[in-house]
Homo-oligomer: A and B are copies of this chain.
Amino acid sequence: MKIHYPNGKPYLVNDDKKKTKNQLNKKKVSYSNRGMTLEEDLNRTNEYYLAKKRAVIHKKPIPIQVVNVDYPHRSAAKITEAYYKKASTTDYNGVYAGHYIDFEAKETRNKTSFPLKNFHEHQLEHMEACAVQGGVCFVIIRFSTLNRVFLLDFSLLKKWWQQQFNKGGKKSIPLSAMIEDGHELQYSLAPRLPYLDIIDTLYSIK
């Protein structure tokens, strides 16, 4: 039996809703992440890990150079002039089962490869330095048009990064290489992007 709201609209259970939305959009992509950005997905994942006492991993605040501040009230300083600064490290870090965790997350709308220009030299240097200290370093890359997310260990990113400077080197990582060398993350309800499961396997944790 079909149930209707008083306004005439049909009552849909969650599955139906999604189907209708999919049919309306007529696109063959996964809607499992419901329009969230990779950053939102990772923040929720980290909140879940924190709540479950599995790991303490946070996104760092965006570095901002404050130039001018007004003090209209004692309690609420208002910044009236400030500029974004270039980050000198990666976006996420923390601790998990005795390991230092450090990663960067990036999205691309490209469908066949991930352009290396999305990373900066200093981020690679930072990850290299952290890896030397025994840290667990990686990147999480989302192909937003395909809605596929991959975890790539720093050692592999480094190889791809370095080859671009060779004669005829590729300026991007092909999706095929990501599928072969990387680890695809599957969206789940909680945590949304269970990336630590991949880290467990990669680094033989527990």
- Interface residues in chain A, defined as those with a beta carbon under 8 Å from any beta carbon in chain B: 50, 53, 55-56, 58, 60-64, 66, 76-85, 88-89, 93-100, 102, 126, 129-130, 132-135
Contact = CB atoms under 8 A, between A and B. Distances in A.
B56 A130 contact: yes
Contacts of A134: 95, 97-99
A78 B79 CA distance: 11
Nearest to A87: B61
B66 A135 contact: no
A54 to B, nearest CB: 9
A88 to B, nearest CB: 7
A65 to B, nearest CB: 9
B83 A78 contact: yes
Contacts of A78: 81-83
A59 to B, nearest CB: 10
Nearest to A63: B61
19 contacts: A50-B129, A55-B133, A56-B130, A61-B63, A61-B64, A61-B85, A64-B64, A64-B66, A77-B84, A78-B82, A79-B81, A79-B84, A80-B80, A94-B130, A95-B130, A95-B133, A97-B134, A99-B134, A100-B100
Contacts of A132: 53
A139 B94 CA distance: 17
B82 A82 contact: yes
B64 A79 contact: yes
A135 to B, nearest CB: 4
Contacts of A88: 58
A127 to B, nearest CB: 9
A63 to B, nearest CB: 4
B133 A96 contact: yes
Given A99-B100, A100-B100, A126 B56 contact: yes
A50 to B, nearest CB: 7
Contacts of A93: 93-94
A81 B80 contact: yes
